[in-house]
Amino acid sequence: MWAVVPIKGFDAPKQRLASVLSPEERSALAEHMLRDVLAALVDLDGVVVISGDEATLNAARWSGVRVMRERQPGGYSAAVRQAGEALAGEGVAAMMHVPGDIPLITGAEVAQIADLVSPEPGACVVPSHDHDGTNCLALWPPDLLQPAFGPDSFNRHCQLLRDSGVEPNVLELDGFALDIDTPDDLRLFCAGHGDCGSLQYLRASGIAARVSQD
């Protein structure tokens, strides 16, 4: 099982957090979250970070993972599809999509998904906490499905898989559930009791205390 981690870039990402974080704070948080995510994926066969941003690819190289440049700015789904097709072409049996903004994931959760892989075509879909987004889409083989991320992607992915004759494994995983997209997500994250690098940064910088008062 390989992981595919699509990243837009560190140049003032997460525009929906602009009301509570400066561009520099958003950039630093994005880097910390990527490190946390990559740390949880170390026991997989391999990890691909795909991005159109050279600074992001350089940061990923320092982490020792494989990097892939997006062929064109086709969006999130296109990036996952590009990486999945490349891995399938290399004979990789399975891949999981992992967003770069879910810093609470654990190696145990990653292993739980990887353990589902079987010789028959299959998939696992892990929803976001609101059951709107897809915070992990695992496919075996990696090009089993053309991803369709965006609003209501959890239900859409499940239906697309069923339409193709594959009943998805649906897992509810606490670490995967929380992606940090909005100020409310950030407040929920800061109120938690985890000890990942992203939370350490938010607490040490005073951001956690500040956003909890907003």
Q: Can you give the C-alpha Rg of the chain in angstroms? A: 17
Helix (H/G/I), strand (E/B), else coil: 173: coil
In a domain, 200, yes or no: no
In a domain, 211, yes or no: no
In a domain, 193, yes or no: no
Tokens 């399938």 sit at which residue? 88
In a domain, 128, yes or no: yes
Q: What is the pTM of this model?
A: 0.94
CATH code for position 31: 3.90.550.10
In a domain, 67, yes or no: yes
pLDDT in tens, 71-91: 877 789 999 999 999 999 999
pLDDT in tens, 23-68: 999 999 999 999 999 999 999 999 999 999 888 888 888 888 999 9
As for how many domains the chain has, the answer is 1
Mean pLDDT of the chain: 93
Residue 98's pLDDT is 98
Which helix (H) or strand (E) covers residue 202, if one does?
helix 197-204
In a domain, 95, yes or no: yes
In a domain, 17, yes or no: yes
In a domain, 136, yes or no: yes
- Given a cut of 90, whether residue 135 has pLDDT beyond it is yes
Residue 46's pLDDT is 97
Question: Band of the pLDDT at 12, cuts 50, 70, 90?
Answer: low
Question: Band of the pLDDT at 7, cuts 50, 70, 90?
Answer: very high
167 Cβ neighbours under 8 A, 6+ residues apart:
161
